Structure 1
Amino acid sequence: MKTLVQEHDLEKAIPFLLARAGARMGNAFSKALKPYGLSLVEWRVCASLQHTPDQTLSELALHSSNDLSALSRIVDRLATLGLVRREKCGTDGRAIRLALTTLGLELTHEIIPLAKHYEAIALSDFSASEVKLLREMLLRIYANATPLA
C-alpha cells in the first residue's frame, strides 16, 4: 500500500510566519530594553498595567499572554524593583489587584516611544489602511485560535 505524503512548506505556514516575525521584533526590542533593566515579558506586564490599571493576576495573564505561575514570578520581580504594587480588591478581600507604582508608570512612559519606534520600523512600508487591516486580521487569528488553547 502506498503512503500519501503531503507537502508542507514551513516558510509559508502562517503560524511559523507569525512566530518568526514576532521573534525578530521581540529579540530586537529585548536588546533595547536592557538599559532599562527590563526583560520583554516584564515590559509587556508594565505596558498592560499602564493601559489597564488595577488588573487581577488572571486578567493580566490574558492581556500579557503569560501563564499564571510565570506571571506571578514576573510580578514579584517588578514589585521588588518598586515598579508594581499589589492592593487588596475592595469588593473581594481575597483578590489582589496589580498596578504600576509612580516609578513604574514613569519608566513605562519613558519606554513607550521606543516601543512605538520599533513598531514603526517593522511597519515602515505598510500604508495606514494595511496596518489597520493587519491588526484586525491578527486579532481574528487570535480569536479563531481559542478552541486550540
Structure 2
Amino acid sequence: MFALDTRLQEDTWLIGDFPLCRLLLSNDSNYPWFILVPRREGITELFQLDDHDQQLMWGETTALARVLKDVFGADKMNVATLGNVVSQLHMHVIVRYQADVAWPGPVWGKHPAQPYTQVDVCAVRDRLASAFDAGFTFSEG
C-alpha cells in the first residue's frame, strides 16, 4: 500500500492526483516548486517502476512542466529526481525566474523557506484549475 514519506508530508501541501503520481506543493513560496510522487509502494528509483509506469511518470512530469511554464510564466523549468534525503521516488518540478532569490544556482538550502498560507495554496490551486485536464483530481481543501 502506498504511503507518502513523512518528510514529504511535513514539508508540502497536497494538491491532488494524476493517474500515477500524487502532486504536492513544496512549502516554500520562494519558488512555485512542485513534487510528483508515484503512488507505488517501496519505489526509490525511477528504473524500479515497470515500463508502463515509467512512461506514465515521464508523461505526467512533462505535462506538469508544460502547464507550470505557461501558468507561472517561467524563465526556466528545473526537473530532477535526487532522493538523497527522502529516498521515496519523487520528481521535483520547479518554476525558475531570472529574478528569483537563488538564480542561477540551485534552490536547495540557499535561502530560508518562506511558508505558504492556506490562502496562498488555494490561489495556486485556482491558477492550476483550468490548466489541468480531466485526468487530474484536485484534493479537498
TM over 0.5: no
More helix by share: 1
Q: Structure with the greater relative contact order (CA < 8 A, sep ≥ 6): 1 or 2?
A: 2
More strand by proportion, 1 or 2?
A: 2
Q: So what's the TM-score if we normalise by structure 1?
A: 0.29
TM-score (norm 2): 0.31
